[in-house]
Amino acid sequence: MSDVPPPGHPALAGGPVYLDYNATTPVDPRVAAAMLPHLTDFFGNPSSGHPYGAGPRQALAEARVQVAALIGARADEVVFTGSGSEADLLALRGAVIASGRSRPHVITQVTEHPAVLETCRALERLHGARLTVLPVDGDGVVVPQALAAALTHDTVLVSVMAANNETGTLQPIPELAALAHDFGALFHCDAAQAAGKIPLDVEALGVDLLTVVGHKMYAPKGAAALYVRGGVRLEPVVYGGGQEHGLRAGTENVALAVALGAAAGLAADEPTDGTAARVASLRDDLQRRLTEALPGRVHLNGPASGRLPNTLNVSIDGALGHELLASADQIAASTGPACHSGNHTPSPVLTAMGLEPARALGALRLSLGRWTTQADIETAAAALVKAAAGR
Q: How far apart are CA 74 and CA 20, in angstroms?
A: 32
Residue 339: active-site member: yes
What is the β-pairing status of strands 17-18 and 331-332?
A: parallel
Q: How far apart are CA 285 and CA 101, in angstroms?
A: 51
Query: Active-site residue among 11, 339, 358, 389?
Result: 339
Strands (E), 233-389: 298-300, 311-316, 331-332, 363-367
Amino acid at 164: N
Contact assessment for residue 72 and residue 97, using Cβ atoms and an 8 Å cutoff: no
User: Which residues touch 292 (CB under 8 Å, ≥6 apart)?
Assistant: none
- For the chain, helix, strand, coil in percent to 5 are 40, 15, 40
Q: How far apart are CA 32 and CA 10, in angstroms?
A: 13
Distances (CA, A) of 202 to 124, 162, 255: 28, 11, 26
SS3 of residue 254 by DSSP: helix
Q: How far apart are CA 53 and CA 46, in angstroms?
A: 5
User: Which residues touch 4 (CB under 8 Å, ≥6 apart)?
Assistant: none
Contact assessment for residue 153 and residue 142, using Cβ atoms and an 8 Å cutoff: no
Amino acid at 178: A
In degrees, rounded to 5, the angle at the alpha carbon of residue 40 between the alpha carbons of residues 217 and 23 is: 20
The interaxial angle of helices 51-71 and 254-267, nearest 10 deg, is: 30
Contact assessment for residue 336 and residue 349, using Cβ atoms and an 8 Å cutoff: yes
The residues annotated with a catalytic role in the active site are: 339
